Structure 1
Amino acid sequence: MSKKVKVKIKYNSTDSPICDLYQDISIDEAINELVDNLKLEKFSKENRIRYGLFFPDDGSQIDGKKRVGDILDDGMELYLADVSNPWFRQPPRTQSPGLRPSPPPPPPCNEVQACRLRLAHGCTYTIPNDRVIIDRSFLIEHLPKSEVIRQDVQKRMFGNAPLGSVSRDPHCEVFRKGERWFIRAIHSVYVNGKRYKGTEIPVTGSLMEIVLGDKGWHITIELFTP
């Protein structure tokens, strides 16, 4: 009988029930069970809603392919949200009922944002000098040693691992051109399931998730004002 992990799932600003998740299922499978048990909407108009689990401390999304028992512990609090519109990143409403909310002020035209990479949970890398080249050696150098060892073990046991899909040669480059940030996909880079190679991709929004290689390594690109 598979053991369970007891976690607190917050899926809106008020509700946060305690839920039991089997340790031997994937995060994606756990999400499907939570959506059914909590009776959440599965469609927005005619489009299926894609839910994700997020860490509340930094808002990073948990890799859906990882096993529950490998990444979650009893007593943890997690956010469950539509990945395209996470409820916990919405600004609080301060207007009185019945009044239309005021649009946020436009950012100054001369504002230049910095960029950092969320390489794994609790592991970030701020890009120096507005440019960084990412390859497998870069990830091995900056990821926690425990994660690098786990990837090596997974590759030995199963013949592949996400880190092994990242090229030993330069895989991609993240750089600033003028006031905008771009990704140069030297090898395969996936954004929202679409594959890019040999092209430049603009970084849109304050958070953008990319995958390096087929079933490869997930990186979240975050733009911020220093």
Structure 2
Amino acid sequence: MADITIRLYIGPSSSDLRELVVPAERPLGDLIIDWKKVYLLAEQDSQGEMIRYQLYRESEGKKVPVDPKKSLRDLRFQAYQELFLTDACHPWWQGTTSQPTTTSQSKAPGTAPLRGPATSKRVTTATTPNPSPSSRPLPSFSPCSIELAPGCVRQIGETGVVINRDYLLRELPKSVSTLERTLMWMRQESRLLAVSRSDNGHCSIVWKQSWYLMAHHPVYISGTKYSRNEAIQIEETVTLLLGRDGWPITIRLHSTSITR
């Protein structure tokens, strides 16, 4: 797999510039997840809402979002071209009069920092006031379901769901649940043994303007491990393992939206 050198901005100053060598064929959404970990980007904003990060590129003097499912090769990206990583709802360059450069510059009013604790306040300009949470339009709710076993599907409401071993034993088909209980009682191999029985769940699925998987204990998606309460935005159907070689579940999003 060929690599390509890019210039990544995660903020407006020269110290926020990174020159990176990345796989040209890797989906950009996977790179975003990696960079969130490496650069310790905040998971929540000052209102406690989950932050959805987005990559942008320059096109005709404007920053335009790029599809996280595409790779740099798909986008025909050239060496040393620039990418900009930001909170999709509050791009850090909004309110600035100039684009970030490699020379040192002070942060302009209206720039919202990407990093820092979730309690940090966002700065806004007088001409573009930040609406209070009560005045913001609520996003449409998109239904979601999980498949716990072939033919065993459970719908998830806006309150989300907490998944642990007891939940699976309760919700799985009786024949499957009985078999797994027997295997565990006989101290034989059961994939449910990898699933935590913790009250706060092995993982949870929550709605925060979008669907998120909260990995309280190790969760594996396409071989990548997530844990320690990492938040993974769910943008398409995804199958994951609860624990190493653990129980597989599939999360499906539905196109129907419920406007509130």
Q: Which has the higher strand share?
A: 1
TM-score by length of 1: 0.48
Structure showing greater radius of gyration is 2
